Structure 1
Amino acid sequence: MAERYDDSSETPSVWRFTRATRAHVVIDACAYFDLMYQAMCEAQQRIMLIGWDFDTRIHLARGRRWWNLPRKQRPPARLGGFILWLTERTKGLQVRVLKWNFGALKFVFRGSMVIDLARWLASPAVDFKFDSAHPFGCSHHQKIVVIDDRFAVCGGIDMTSDRWDTPDHIDEDARRRMPFARKLYGPWHDLTMMVEGEAAAALGALGRMRWEQAGGEPMEPCRPQEDTAWPENLLAEFRDVEVGIARTRAAYRDLGVIDEIEQLYIEHIVRAKRFVYAESQYFASRTVAEAIAKRMAEPDPPEFVLINPESADGWLEQAAMDGARIQLARAIRDVDHRRNFRIFLPMTAGGTPIYVHAKMMIVDDEVIRVGSSNLNNRSMGLDTEADVFIDAARPGNDHARAPIKALRCRLLAEHLGIEPEAVAAALDGGASMIDLIEATPRRGKYLAHFELRELSDAERTVADNALLDPEKPEELFEPIAKRRGLFGGSLRRPRKRRVKT
């Protein structure tokens, strides 16, 4: 019972170290939705869904798994009906859904979702809540699923619309369609990590704490059970491995600040000897950029490859993040004497930008971290975040090195449109990741260079002052003159004076 409410951290950068009997990184939502459909079918006691957004209209497995059953025996394809079907089929099963409160009005415009929520509210087995337990301007950004405290998921994928895609990222894929609409959405790349055993129980404790902080009734841990919801045909990449969990949370009422994720990013960047491979929706964090700049200024810096989307999604995010990325990348370039820091943008075979929603980092093929945190200021101190990681340098984790390397090869292969074996052969032959990316012919998907364009005065003001991407709640209300801006410490750059002609 004490473990449930223990908010203290084991180290400044880690909330818990715990073991997983199995762990697996799932790439892209096509596989994730299908695996979660299977896992939820095995739930016996409780399903806890915690996320930034949910859309009950989406199809997880699109009904493919049950095509051979009589129609009346098939589970509903839509998430909303599927949840109710699970609770009716398995007596005593509880479902708890926690979503960020800001998007509540979206439901009015999602048609049948209002009906789904009404049916959920009428069910004694389902409890749905909006999470508003954070300061004004913050968001609840964690993406966690816990089943029976034996199986859990933590990463970047939300169970909502416009997320489904395959690693092929096909141009104009007719399967990438918004619910009940003809409109197609663009290619989308994402990641999450599945864990089993004690690590799942720890994420269950984290989920219960968040549920109670959001005003939900206290929940007891699930009863110990032998059965697990691990999908039957999923071969785990990691077995009997230690997993670390890190969090971000702003101070709120009697809850203190948690910045484990920021501290962990700094630790991982500082420890890198050979390379860092990262994927992130944004690159706007002052703290992370300063840590990278210090490494790039060293005589023999590590290679740092960052995969970003071409542009942020939505005009507000573009105003906040795109200019900051240019400013930070330019500041790093000024000290990057080896040109070891590069940002690349994934493109389809037809030249369409692939939106990167993944949040992950691999360091020296020793560390793999996956979570909800982006490389922006909000994820370091404003929003609620959760990341999980495996460190092969920790005792008993040496066997994790090979699968971590295989993941890096698989991700690079996906973006370059080649086979993982070709990536591994090139890297084993002495090529750097940058060499490999630049030498790979563009015969399909490819990684484009990120170009540092000039910013307008308005864009520069928004970027330099982090107006829309603060790290602390109080920065939302600070006058511009008091903000420390994007550039602090080693990244502080003098503004160029305009010369009248």
Structure 2
Amino acid sequence: MSVLRPGETCWRVARAGRAAFLIDTEAYFTAVYEAIRKAKRSVLLLGWGFDPRARLFPDGKDGPDDPDEVGRILVELARARPDLDIRLLIWKSALPVAISQQFFPHRARHWFLGTGVKFVLDDKVPFGACHHQKVLVVDDELAFCGGGDIGVDRWDTPGHLDVDPRRIMPDQECHDPRHEVMAMVDGEAAAALGDLARERWRRATGHALPRPDGPTGSDPWPSHIPAHLRDVTVAIGRTEPAWKGRPLVDEIRSLTIESILSAKATIYLENQYFTAPAVAEAIAQRLAEPDGPEVVLISTGRSPSWFDQLTMDRARSNLMWRLRAADVFGRFRAWYPTTRGGSKIIVHSKVSVFDDTLARVGSANLNNRSGGFDTEAELSFEVASEADRMALTAFRDRLIGHFIGHTGDAVAKARAEHGGLIAAIEALNREGRLSPILPMAHSTLSEMVATYHLGDPANVSDSWRPSRRRDRLYASARERPRLTVG
């Protein structure tokens, strides 16, 4: 039975003639450049953040007029093609976040003023929430969705080098190594993401955009990227808070719990955060089964911001204690990746692969707020054929391999030789580039923050009742798996 049910665990199910997984931002930015240059009628971007100074092809060189800056590329494209409708809808970030981004994307409004690029900041979310969807749609015929925004501190390669002058920022400093994943689809799935983007635009501006009529007759798919899946079922999942008369949409959270409870052999989770008790309790339930699945979590060793270190890292530590206690059969591992020189890699991706039948790539973190407080978008790929199942396995193995300096084929061979994913990783991780995520000692303040998940509400009503949050979150975590299984 499929875990993808429109209205419950996803919004829509559509077909894509082609789908591809883009590992790390070099691949994403290169694909974006080719796709938008092929656009015939529209480019729609949804983002948490956006910086027009972000370079799509950084070379590590100085220069105030870099021709590869995305803002410059979009302006020139709009000037050369006045008939091309280019719209950017970006979250109007709160002041503390804006300060950390040198007041971008707010300053981007002046960048695009008087150009053909329509740039809008979207603040239509509850107090304390954010728009976190990362979607780019070209002509309703090609779409990207995943964890990556277009910013000055995002570009990196799968090599995640200790020193890479191409990770250069406008101040000529280099940012830390960073891991991202995006998915790319065409066909009906791309058109569905176009509908999602247009609905967001309508809510933000009050202006309804018409759906394009018919195909353009061209193909915006980047010519250098092969399709990893063909003629595949794609589900679009969302998170939207209950606000101003609109009901709660928690399709992504529902699918996460359902996928964990349905997995047979392997659960692979790659995520920036891991603080949701409901997710941890579902995993704990599976770990208690004698023949349950292996569970591998890859996350950041330490969050780059002090606020996330206090809130997300501390709350994750409590869940590590819970899962270590539940792991009576030794089937759970949590690791963080480092470079060859030992520097921590920022894991910003939001990816999960269940067995060899379901892969998910989106913007949602494994925290509370991504399940019902922020807005999120995700693509899920459910497959049945042997070729497609091999493609999903290869995707997962390639992700694991690139963290430990091995190919995906080497990971597949190690799985066969050692009898499982965890054993394969431990056999190949000779350099120690994956280190265990261990529970942390708490101060009085951090214990309070972690216990009550301060900064990480599960929904709008929860955001105003932190004193009741602990009981409510854990009650939901205990009850949800039983309801889903039954």
TM-score for both structures, normalised by structure 2? 0.91
Q: For the Cα contact (< 8 Å) 2:10–2:251, is it kept in 1? A: yes
> Quick check: 1:282 aligned with 2:270?
no
Q: How many residue pairs align between the two structures?
A: 469
Aligned to 1:400: 388
Q: For the Cα contact (< 8 Å) 1:328–1:486, is it kept in 2? A: no
> Quick check: 1:48 aligned with 2:44?
yes
CA distance in 2, matches of 1:408, 1:108: 33
Q: Report the more deviating stretch, 397-406 or 418-427.
A: 397-406
Residue among 165, 170, 179 paired with 2:161: 170
Matched to 2:194, the amino acid is G
1:352 is paired with a residue whose SS is coil
CA distance in 2, matches of 1:372, 1:398: 28
CA drift at 1:299: 2.0
Residue among 297, 302, 317 paired with 1:311: 302
CA drift at 1:220: 0.7
Matched to 1:447, the amino acid is L
Matched to 1:214, the amino acid is A
Residue among 246, 255, 261 paired with 1:270: 261
Aligned to 2:438: 451
2:113 is paired with a residue whose SS is helix
* CA distances 1:392-447 after superposition (whole Å, capped 9, x unpaired): 14xxx55421110111111111011012221111112343222122222534x721
Residue among 447, 451, 457 paired with 1:464: 451
CA distance in 2, matches of 1:110, 1:457: 33
1:266 is paired with a residue whose SS is helix
1:429 is paired with a residue whose SS is helix
> Quick check: 1:84 aligned with 2:75?
yes
Aligned to 1:13: 9
Q: For the Cα contact (< 8 Å) 1:464–1:485, is it kept in 2? A: no
Aligned pairs for 1:386-425 (under 5 A) are: 386-393=377-384, 399-425=387-413
Residue among 264, 280, 284 paired with 1:293: 284
Based on CA coordinates, which of the two structures has the bigger radius of gyration? Answer: 1
Residue 366 to residue 115, structure 1, CA distance change in 2 (3 Å): closer
* CA distances 1:52-82 after superposition (whole Å, capped 9, x unpaired): 0000001113489xxxxxxxxx993211111
* CA distances 1:267-293 after superposition (whole Å, capped 9, x unpaired): 110111101111000000111111111
Q: For the Cα contact (< 8 Å) 1:63–1:76, is it kept in 2? A: no
Aligned pairs for 1:239-254 (under 5 A) are: 239-254=230-245
CA distance in 2, matches of 1:191, 1:241: 19
Q: CA RMSD in A?
A: 2.3
Q: For the Cα contact (< 8 Å) 2:47–2:149, is it kept in 1? A: yes
TM-score for both structures, normalised by structure 1? 0.89
* CA distances 1:99-130 after superposition (whole Å, capped 9, x unpaired): 1111578389749987763352312x321111
Aligned to 1:67: none
CA distance in 2, matches of 1:267, 1:113: 36
CA distance in 1, matches of 2:222, 2:74: 18
Q: For the Cα contact (< 8 Å) 1:108–1:114, is it kept in 2? A: no
Q: For the Cα contact (< 8 Å) 1:178–1:185, is it kept in 2? A: yes
Matched to 1:416, the amino acid is I
CA distance in 1, matches of 2:212, 2:308: 39
Residue among 451, 475, 480 paired with 2:467: 480
Aligned to 1:69: none
Aligned to 1:5: none
Aligned to 2:426: 438
CA distance in 1, matches of 2:66, 2:317: 48
1:343 is paired with a residue whose SS is strand
> Quick check: 1:188 aligned with 2:174?
no
Matched to 1:191, the amino acid is V
1:102 is paired with a residue whose SS is coil
* CA distances 1:139-186 after superposition (whole Å, capped 9, x unpaired): 00000000000000000010011110000000021111212x132111
**Percent identity between the two aligned chains:** 39
Q: For the Cα contact (< 8 Å) 1:107–1:114, is it kept in 2? A: no
Residue among 202, 213, 218 paired with 2:203: 213
Matched to 1:466, the amino acid is H
Where do 5+ consecutive residues of structure 1 fail to align? 1-8, 65-73, 493-501
Where do 5+ consecutive residues of structure 2 fail to align? 480-486
Aligned to 2:482: none
2:324 is paired with a residue whose SS is helix
Residue 16 to residue 82, structure 1, CA distance change in 2 (3 Å): same
